[in-house]
A = this chain, B = another copy of it.
Amino acid sequence: MEGRATASTPAALPYYVAFSQLLGLTLVAMTGAWLGLYRGGIAWESHLQFNVHPLCMAIGLIFLQGDALLVYRVFRNEAKRTTKVLHGLLHVFALIIALVGLVAVFDYHRKKGYADLYSLHSWCGILVFVLYFVQWLVGFSFFLFPGVSFSLRSRYRASHIFFGATIFLLSVGTALLGLKEALLFKLGAKYSLFEPEGVLGNVLGLLLACFGGVVLYILTRPDWKRPPQAEEQALSMDFKTLTEGDSPGSQ
């Protein structure tokens, strides 16, 4: 009975996950459409290099980062190690794609002779990237590197989850700032005339905020958290008996 109970998936969870994926894919597609329709498309050489930046960030630091956070909710009945490796790998992909996006904008600024790191978007962006990299390194050291004690992992887990969610939300905020900057720099006073590019940009901004909200909802619903598997539960109970007061629980 116990085994069957932990293997079940909450009825509404798949619908929320499907909705998050729909939002995520739409926002990536809309970023591509925006760059294609109004910004001349994407290329590494020429002035189109700048456009690599928003697309990479939408794919890496928004969609893939969000999905990496959802891994423990979606693959709730797989072995913990498999889920953990997938969580770490998705974050690695996100980090690499974000790095390409970062190189693109710095290289574009260098070629054009533009100043770097003067805007609020760039300050938040660098902060997000550094925090994301540090969070990955610390997460890897604690959860995937062998030899770290169960007790130490349990104590760090809550901080890892909080900072993971916060970095994701800061990524969404930074993307909104970048989008706004791109719209204002190009449209200027025409923004107030409800130009099609401005309206598309606003809808993209709302999609970004909605994706952030839905991921946060799935992540924070207590009854949707991954239940500990039978063998983890036994280990956790043994540990609880030994330490009393510590609650390693599920992730």
Contacts and interface: CB of A to CB of B under 8 A. Distances in A.
Contacts of A115: 192-194
Interface in A44-81: none
A180 interface: yes
Interface stretch (A21-29, A171-179, A236-244): A171-179
A216 B86 CA distance: 27
A251 interface: no
Contact of A120 (B119, B158, B183, B213): B183
Interface in A168-226: 169-170, 172-173, 176-177, 179-181, 183-185, 191-194, 198, 201-202, 205-206, 209, 213, 216-217, 220-222
A124 interface: yes
Given A120-B183, A177-B180, A181-B184, A158 B222 contact: yes
Copies in the complex: 2
A15 interface: no
Contact residue range for chain A?
Answer: 35 or more
A166 interface: yes
A209 B124 contact: yes
Contact of A118 (B173, B194, B220): B194
A206 B162 contact: no
A73 to B, nearest CB: 15
16 contacts: A114-B192, A115-B192, A118-B191, A118-B192, A118-B198, A119-B180, A119-B191, A119-B202, A123-B202, A124-B206, A162-B220, A162-B221, A166-B216, A166-B217, A170-B213, A181-B184
Given A118-B193, A123-B205, 13 more contacts: A114-B192, A115-B192, A115-B193, A120-B176, A123-B206, A124-B176, A124-B205, A127-B206, A173-B173, A177-B177, A177-B180, A180-B184, A220-B220
A-B pairs with the 9 shortest C-beta distances?
A115-B192, A120-B205, A120-B202, A184-B184, A118-B192, A173-B173, A123-B202, A177-B180, A120-B180
